[in-house]
């Protein structure tokens, strides 16, 4: 692996240790043997008191304590060593899956998700799930995106011409995965696009996605009409070599869809979509992404880069949701999916955007139908346009719903959406809002074991195990700080009450009484109760009728 130094020259600040973000947690590694390798699948183990079992949660945080200038270790290098393809070769996970081969990545993912490796293989083979894993991204801890697995979230980072440094972006990457981002997109559009990406990839334990047309546009000095397929393929290859795991490619923006956006309130809001629309208008041709799609597939299968087929015509406001332009493009993405699959190239489909709640389900239902069950990957959607500054919330509402209904990955939105570039706090706020949405979706889908985490926390809450309640939460330190604002004393954290009700109003304490009574009588239904009730009532009053201590 190459050693990288930041141009800025200063030592990277690095993050606080994992334990500072997650007290009473530590990383564990579940060993898995496959193909002669012993792989280590990470989990975060949350220790709980009172004899309760620890809670092991999915962990995307990656190796800790590495020097950002050196990059992460590359355990995957040996798994992929034998996979370098000859001319016309194919190293995609879908390719192996369809040949009946369970790859190291599939075996790894199976342990990570708690399912059978053969099930992983079959889902990848039929295109209902993808494992974005460029063979050149050897720092990767493989993960899977598909609606029969845990719902995933993506965070976006990247500098622009007007803001932020490489080091800041790498810092946001590490911060994103710390809080739970499953993939990260580098959306940089600034001058240092190649070098920024290199630093990001070498420090990325998660799949990295890009929108290659941005770099192409830098290469032609912003002259959209000068973009060509050759420049595009050259740029793709450059990024393939670096190890990018998935490309957003807006190949579905067809000439005939463009005028359909003219009457929209917000027209075309996707950057890639608007670039391709302008190219189409300028040349009066279908875009080179569409007409040369198979050449793109030929390249991507040699590295196993996955498509994230971009929704260039996604709605940018509620008024434009579910219109002809959007759904026309979606059908084209479905056609392109089948072409990619002919080449065994993995595909996911991007979706909106801004959609009122009553129109969300139609999006996922239609996507599943016309895109042949390829995984859906949506941005939110935001369910109202009136709350800039709070769009992590407006969009987490839509994201939770569309995740429940079958969307496989949710692209986060930060509080800065529509207003500016996110800082570290915004990244964390966005990731946590989306962890909430994704987990709520897993629970609503009845995903095996998903609710165990909720139940463990609820039990801790009911039993006044305050530290356990904090430690089990998505953001333990914030939970603890909020508690301490009202009742800072250490003693309050073992108290059998809290600041909301005080010691004389605690419903949870009263419930213990009810429970104890039922336990004694062995009753859990009304019929069995009456007999012993009068007797118990008398006894209860005799004892003082008081349970507060």
Q: Which of residues 356-395 bind a second copy (CB under 8 A)?
A: 356-358, 383-390, 392-394
Q: From 94-102, 215-223, 340-348, 369-377, give the range in contact with a second copy by CB under 8 A.
A: 215-223
The candidate with the shortest Cα–Cα distance to 532, out of 542, 543, 523, is: 523
Q: Tell me how far, at minimum, the Cβ of 167 lies from a second copy, in Å.
A: 17
Number of residues that bind a second copy (CB under 8 A): 139
Q: What's the rounded Cα separation, in Å, for the pair 515 and 508?
A: 10
Q: From 89-97, 232-240, 336-344, 504-512, give the range in contact with a second copy by CB under 8 A.
A: 504-512
Pairing of strands 37-46, 25-34: antiparallel
Element (H, E) at 130: strand 129-130
Q: Of the two residues 136 and 366, which places its CB atom closer to a second copy in the complex?
A: 366
Q: Is 284 in the site for a second copy (CB under 8 A)?
A: yes
| Contact between residue 222 and residue 116 where contact means Cβ atoms under 8 Å apart | no
Dihedral angle sign, alpha carbons of residues 143, 144, 145, 151: negative
Query: For residue 472, how many other CB atoms are within 10 A of its CB?
Result: 26
Q: Tell me how far, at minimum, the Cβ of 271 lies from a second copy, in Å.
A: 5
Q: Is 194 in the site for a second copy (CB under 8 A)?
A: no
Q: Is 261 in the site for a second copy (CB under 8 A)?
A: yes
| Contact between residue 32 and residue 39 where contact means Cβ atoms under 8 Å apart | yes
| Contact between residue 327 and residue 311 where contact means Cβ atoms under 8 Å apart | no
Q: Of the two residues 490 and 546, which places its CB atom closer to a second copy in the complex?
A: 546
Q: From 136-144, 177-185, 236-244, 280-288, give the range in contact with a second copy by CB under 8 A.
A: 280-288
- Interaction residues for a second copy, span 454-483 (CB under 8 A): 454-455, 457-459, 461-462, 469-470, 472-475, 478-479, 482-483
Residue 56 C-beta-side C-alpha neighbours within 13 Å: 12
Q: Tell me how far, at minimum, the Cβ of 84 lies from a second copy, in Å.
A: 35
Residue with tokens 């920024």: 196
Whether omega for the bond prior to residue 533 falls within 30 degrees of 0, making it cis, is: no
* Interface with a second copy (CB under 8 A), residue from 259, 365, 449, 531: 259
| Separate counts of helices (H) and strands (E) for the chain | 21, 13
* Interface with a second copy (CB under 8 A), residue from 116, 225, 241, 369: 225
Q: Is 427 in the site for a second copy (CB under 8 A)?
A: no
Tokens representing 330? 């979606």
Q: What's the rounded Cα separation, in Å, for the pair 391 and 376?
A: 21
* Interface with a second copy (CB under 8 A), residue from 96, 214, 303, 412: 214
Q: Is 534 in the site for a second copy (CB under 8 A)?
A: yes
Q: Of the two residues 92 and 287, which places its CB atom closer to a second copy in the complex?
A: 287
């Amino acid at each position: 692996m190459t050693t990288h130094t930041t141009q800025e020259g200063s030592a990277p600040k690095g993050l606080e240790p994992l334990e500072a973000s997650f007290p009473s947690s530590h990383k564990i590694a579940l060993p898995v043997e496959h193909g002669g390798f012993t792989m280590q699948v990470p989990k975060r183990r949350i220790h709980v008191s009172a004899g309760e079992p620890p809670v092991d949660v999915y962990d995307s945080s990656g190796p800790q304590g590495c020097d950002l200038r050196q990059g992460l270790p590359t355990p995957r290098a040996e798994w992929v060593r034998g996979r370098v393809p000859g001319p016309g070769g194919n190293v995609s996970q879908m390719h192996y899956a369809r040949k009946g081969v369970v790859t190291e990545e599939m075996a790894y993912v199976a342990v990570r998700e708690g399912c059978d490796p053969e099930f992983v293989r079959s889902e990848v083979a039929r295109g209902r799930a993808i494992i974005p894993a460029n063979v050149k991204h050897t720092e990767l801890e493989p993960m899977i995106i598909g609606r029969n697995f845990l719902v995933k979230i993506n965070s976006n980072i990247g500098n622009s011409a007007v803001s932020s440094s490489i080091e800041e972006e790498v810092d946001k990457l590490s911060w994103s995965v710390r809080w739970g981002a499953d993939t990260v997109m580098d959306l940089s559009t600034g001058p240092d696009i190649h070098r920024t990406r290199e630093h990001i990839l070498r420090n990325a334990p998660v799949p990295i996605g890009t929108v290659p047309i941005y770099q192409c546009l830098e290469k032609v000095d912003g002259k959209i009409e000068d973009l060509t397929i050759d420049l595009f393929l050259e740029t793709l290859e450059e990024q393939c070599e670096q190890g990018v795991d998935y490309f957003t490619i807006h190949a579905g923006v067809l000439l005939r869809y463009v005028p359909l956006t003219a009457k929209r309130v917000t027209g075309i809001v996707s950057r890639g979509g608007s670039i391709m629309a302008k190219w189409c208008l300028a040349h009066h041709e279908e875009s080179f992404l569409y007409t040369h799609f198979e050449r793109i597939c030929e390249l991507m299968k040699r590295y196993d880069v996955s498509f994230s087929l971009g929704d260039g015509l996604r709605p940018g406001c509620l008024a434009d949701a579910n219109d002809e332009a959007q759904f026309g493009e979606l059908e084209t993405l479905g056609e392109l999916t089948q072409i990619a699959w002919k080449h065994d190239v993995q595909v996911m489909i991007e979706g909106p955007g801004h959609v009122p709640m009553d129109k969300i389900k139609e999006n996922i239902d239609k996507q599943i139908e016309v895109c042949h069950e390829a995984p859906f990957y949506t941005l939110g959607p935001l369910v109202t346009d009136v709350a800039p500054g709070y769009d992590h919330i407006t969009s987490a509402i839509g994201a939770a719903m569309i995740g429940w209904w079958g969307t496989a990955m949710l692209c986060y939105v930060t509080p800065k959406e529509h207003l500016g570039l996110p800082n570290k706090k915004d990244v964390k706020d966005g990731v946590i809002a989306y962890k909430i949405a994704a987990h709520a979706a897993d629970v609503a889908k009845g995903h095996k074991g998903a609710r165990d985490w909720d139940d463990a926390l609820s039990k801790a809450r009911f039993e006044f195990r305050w530290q356990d309640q904090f430690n089990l939460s998505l953001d333990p330190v914030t939970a603890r700080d909020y508690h301490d604002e009202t009742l800072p004393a250490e003693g309050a954290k073992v108290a059998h009450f809290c600041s909301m009700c005080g010691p004389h109003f605690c419903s949870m304490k009263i419930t213990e009484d009810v429970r104890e009574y039922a336990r004694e009588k062995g009753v859990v239904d009304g019929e069995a109760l009456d007999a012993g009730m009068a007797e118990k009532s008398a006894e209860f009053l005799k004892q003082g009728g008081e349970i507060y201590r």
